[in-house]
Amino acid sequence: MNDHIVRSYDQELTELSDKVSQMGGLAEEQLGRALDALQRLDMDLAEAIVVADAKVDMLERNIEELAVLTIAKRQPMAQDLREIMVSIRIASDLERIGDLAKNIAKRTTALKEDRPLRIISGLGRMGRQALQQLKDVLDAYAEGDAEKATGVWRGDEAVDAMFNSLFRELLTYMMEDPRTIGPCTHLLFAAKNIERIGDHATNIAENIYYLVHGEQLDEDRPKSDVTSETAIDYTVANNS
């Protein structure tokens, strides 16, 4: 709804949401390419991703500056104020997503030697799920669709579940054959990064809900990442 008496105010708000969408597109692209680089163990692509992260960071700074300037100039109220606050928060989540994607890309180098391709494919599935979550939540932002955002919010459980099973799988490999500890640790970190990306998409979903309704989504967050409480049981590995 853009029909302020002062038209330049509309322009500023539009510019802000355009920038958030642009940043979202970039973060999504970075994640997609990082998953690709990992899957194909493509060093050049990984390198390009690391370089491109600077663009994501720069957009975050732009959004922040524009938001601060708009607040100072317009003293926004109600919906307008929420739009601006939310754009800052979403930009910060997207910046984190960019960093995590960059970190996934960096691990490609470490995995190049061992080529644990079978395990990587499991990671790819989880990555695509998180990527879909990110895509959906960015669509929800563009459309101002709180219901769609809530759907993404609920969907985070699937990413967490994949992370749990991957975590167990990687543990098993490491216990069976200590030579896999190196690559498996890298993959575990990559999986954790993807799990975190899912959490950031969930944050974004919460912000969209707040933007539309003016109140926080007050259900308990669906949470099924239990790996931090999972004990590592050596006897299982030794008996098998």
Partner 1 sequence: MAMAQVAVEMPEVEPEETFKMLGRGVNVHYGDKQALFDVSLAIRANQVTSLIGPSGCGKSTFIRCLNRMNDVIEICRVAGDITLDGRDIYSPKIDAVELRARVGMVFQKANPFPKSIFDNVAYGPRIHGLASNKTDLEAIVVQSLSQAGLFEEVKDRLHAPGTSLSGGQQQRLCIARAIAVTPEVILMDEPCSALDPIATARIEELIDELRKDYTIVIVTHSMQQAARVSQYTAFFHLGVLVEEGETEFMFTTPRDQRTQDYITGRFG
Sites of contact with partner 1 (CB under 8 A):
1, 3-6, 9, 74-82, 214-215
CA–CA separation, 86 vs 207, rounded Å?
6
209-229: burial string, b at 16+ Cβ within 10 Å, e else: bbbbeeeebeeeeeeebebee
| CA within 13 Å, CB half, 87 | 30
Nearer to partner 1, 5 or 51 (CB): 5
Contact, 145 vs 108, CB < 8 A?
no
Nearer to partner 1, 214 or 222 (CB): 214
Nearer to partner 1, 3 or 219 (CB): 3
Minimum distance from CB of 164 to partner 1 (Å)? 38
**Positive or negative torsion for Cα 144, 19, 132, 185:** negative
Minimum distance from CB of 194 to partner 1 (Å)? 35
Nearer to partner 1, 82 or 154 (CB): 82
Minimum distance from CB of 210 to partner 1 (Å)? 10
Tokens matching residue 182? 């190196």
| CA within 13 Å, CB half, 221 | 15
Q: Assign residue 177 a region (left: φ > 0; alpha: ψ between -120 and 50; beta: otherwise).
A: beta
Nearer to partner 1, 81 or 161 (CB): 81
Q: How many CB atoms sit inside 10 A of residue 99's CB? A: 18
Nearer to partner 1, 9 or 189 (CB): 9
Minimum distance from CB of 58 to partner 1 (Å)? 30
At residue 113, the 3 state secondary structure works out as: coil
Q: Return all residues near 88 (Cβ < 8 A) that are at least 6 apart.
A: 63, 64, 67
- Using alpha carbons, select from 75, 72, 27, 78 the residue that is nearest to residue 53: 27
Minimum distance from CB of 82 to partner 1 (Å)? 8
Minimum distance from CB of 216 to partner 1 (Å)? 11
